[in-house]
Amino acid sequence: MLKRGLPPTHPGEILKEMFITERGLTITEVAKGLNMARANLSSVINGHLGISPELAVKLSEAFGNSTQFWINLQNNYEVWHAERKINRSSIQHFYKESA
């Protein structure tokens, strides 16, 4: 279970540390292998862009894991930040509380 107080690691950081650096690869090599611009991959790794579904498919093929693994990392990151950004008290409820 995730600790609710600590932000999840950006998926790009996980990609860099666990899949690129650990394998002795360079960003340039991986970008070329994924058939994408190095600048775009660098933006993901540096947390400026998220992992799109298309990139998740490419990463799953390249590193032998599932597309869902990458999608889940991205979704968990985005939901954690959304939970802190949205003021729930300003939202109207359209359901009835059970008695």
Residue 86 DSSP class:
S
The count of C-alpha atoms lying within 13 angstroms of the C-alpha of 50, restricted to the half-sphere facing its C-beta, is 13
User: pTM for this structure?
Assistant: 0.85
Tokens 């979704």 -> residue: 75
> What confidence tens digit (pLDDT) does each residue in 58-82 have?
999 999 999 999 999 999 999 999 9
Number of domains forming the structure of the chain: 1
* CATH code at position 31: 1.10.260.40
Residue-number span of the structural domain to which 20 is assigned: 11-84
Collapsing DSSP to helix, strand or coil, 23 comes out as coil
pLDDT in tens, 14-49: 999 999 999 999 999 999 999 999 999 999 999 999
- Residues with Cβ within 8 Å of 50's Cβ and at least 6 positions away in sequence, in order, are 11, 12, 44, 74, 77, 78
